[in-house]
Amino acid sequence: MVKALRKFGIAFAVSTVILGIAALIIMSLIDDVLTGSFNKDDDELSHILNDDTEEEEKKNEAPADENPLSTLDGDSFTVLAVMTDYRPDVYEYIPKIDTESSSADDKNEEPGLFLKDLKEWGAAKICLVKCSKETGSYVFVPISPLTKVSTPAGPSRIYNVLSDYGTEYFKTKIEVLTGLKIDRYAIMDCTEITNFVATFGAVWCPVPCEVFSNGVEYVSATAATAAKVKNPSDVYTRLLEVCEDYIGPSSMGLLLFKDYTNGIDDELTVSAGYAKGCMANFKKLTEEGVLSSYWSSLKPYFKETDIDESFLSSHNALIGAYSDELAKTVTIQGIFKSIDDDGAPVFEVDGSRTVDALKDYR
């Protein structure tokens, strides 16, 4: 009997230990499962809460200002800037019509033979400057003086239109070429450029070629050498070297220079570059708060302009917001011909491609 009880006790103790160990193992597994599940739920909940917080923060943040001009005072505007090559102190010119009162029908008759040695003058540098609030950009559209246009007298170059037909007809032809409506214009004779920059300040502009001068003509090194061979007494000196710099008293030579290595491309680069440099100078005047008042000292240098203090005042914020980063150059599309029907070079415009290039800025 005693022996049987002893066996039972031993068996019971062993069973209790085994069950206890099994219970511990099971409880440990249950704890791991439950803990992992809760941790997973916590992680997912934390992720959701964090995402919601980030989304809320994004909503509260001001959106990136992709168009810095859209909220500024003033409307978009387009200004036509022109420099003529009129130099009456150097050349005698074929008489032209009065640009103030003429129309396209007032074109002069062809000059007689006694005028054959006289020169013509015209628009040597042309550039449209468009401030577009809609696109947040300042668009520069340089136009070659050789651009072919139709006139009442037949095909001509835009260079001749200003002197042959007057300002209003000239502006109309530029609007037809580009599809951009001109709001204001400014025309300056090249002889006033030196005095202008003395007041306005030197203008930052690229110089793609060396420029040599004998005091009258502005030519390349090759042309200067050829002229020296032809006339040993003719002395040419280097006026400008290839650079990107502020151009002051040498501005007239740069803007009258035509003998570019890359032809029309370099010419358009200078036209747009000088216009950009002028915009940068006007920006400085707005920063100093003197743009409108300063204009009265600059206006006398222009041959013709309808830009006034009121226009500058109403567009002060847009002019002051100018930066190189917002500047774009869009060129008239077409084909350059070294010899046209009249034996001279010409640029023929591709109207559809030009319209497409400028469609976003109309």
Using CB atoms within 10 A of its CB, is residue 112 exposed (0-12), middle (13-18) or buried (19+)? exposed
Asked, for residue 147, whether it belongs to a domain, the answer is: yes
DSSP code for 214? S
Note the pLDDT tens digit of each residue in 265-276.
999 999 999 999
**102 phi and psi angles, rounded to 5 deg:** -90, 165
pLDDT on residue 97: 52
Whole-angstrom distance, CA of residue 147 vs CA of residue 144:
5
183: containing domain = 77-361
Find the range with the poorest average confidence among 44-58, 193-207, 225-239.
44-58
For the chain, the C-alpha Rg in angstroms (whole number) is 38
Whole-angstrom distance, CA of residue 334 vs CA of residue 142:
13
Note the pLDDT tens digit of each residue in 79-138.
999 999 999 999 998 876 554 444 545 444 444 444 446 789 999 999 999 999 999 999
pLDDT band at 65 (very low <50, low <70, confident <90, very high): low
pLDDT on residue 42: 45
**234: domain CATH number?**
3.40.630.190
Residue scoring higher pLDDT (115 or 320): 320
Asked, for residue 301, whether it belongs to a domain, the answer is: yes
pLDDT band at 263 (very low <50, low <70, confident <90, very high): confident
pLDDT of 197 over the 80 cut: yes
8 Å CB contact between 303 and 100 = no
8 Å CB contact between 224 and 217 = no
Asked, for residue 21, whether it belongs to a domain, the answer is: no
Both tokens of 238, joined, read: 């280097």
Ranges of H-type helices in the chain: 2-60, 158-165, 167-178, 193-200, 221-230, 251-256, 264-287, 291-298, 309-314, 316-320, 351-358
Among residues 216, 238, 244, the alpha carbon closest in space to that of 85 is found at 216
Asked, for residue 295, whether it belongs to a domain, the answer is: yes
Asked, for residue 197, whether it belongs to a domain, the answer is: yes
The stretch 312-329 carries a mean pLDDT of 96
**Exposure of 230 in the CB half-sphere (CA atoms within 13 A):** 7
Q: How many residues does the chain have?
A: 362
Rounded percentage of the chain residues whose pLDDT exceeds 70:
76
pLDDT on residue 335: 93
Residue type, 303: K
Using CB atoms within 10 A of its CB, is residue 336 exposed (0-12), middle (13-18) or buried (19+)? middle
Among residues 220, 218, 236, the alpha carbon closest in space to that of 228 is found at 236
DSSP secondary structure letters along 70-118: TTSSS--EEEEEEEE---TTT--B-----TTT--GGGPPPPP-GGGTT-
pLDDT band at 58 (very low <50, low <70, confident <90, very high): very low
Note the pLDDT tens digit of each residue in 1-36.
444 445 444 454 445 545 455 544 555 544 554 444
Whole-angstrom distance, CA of residue 98 vs CA of residue 192:
20
Residues 6+ apart with CB under 8 A from 148: 155, 156, 157, 158, 340, 346, 347, 348, 349
pLDDT of 64 over the 60 cut: no
For residue 125, what are the β-bridge partners? 83
| pTM for the model | 0.77
- At 115 the three-state DSSP class reads helix
Asked, for residue 56, whether it belongs to a domain, the answer is: no
Asked, for residue 33, whether it belongs to a domain, the answer is: no
pLDDT band at 308 (very low <50, low <70, confident <90, very high): very high
Asked, for residue 310, whether it belongs to a domain, the answer is: yes
Whole-angstrom distance, CA of residue 245 vs CA of residue 261:
19
DSSP code for 185? E
- Strand pairing category for 218-219 and 211-213: antiparallel
- The secondary structure element, H or E, covering residue 305 is strand 304-305
Whole-angstrom distance, CA of residue 21 vs CA of residue 145:
101
Residue scoring higher pLDDT (2 or 197): 197
Residue scoring higher pLDDT (204 or 262): 204
Based on the structure, what is the number of domains in the chain?
1
pLDDT of 316 over the 60 cut: yes
Whole-angstrom distance, CA of residue 132 vs CA of residue 75:
8
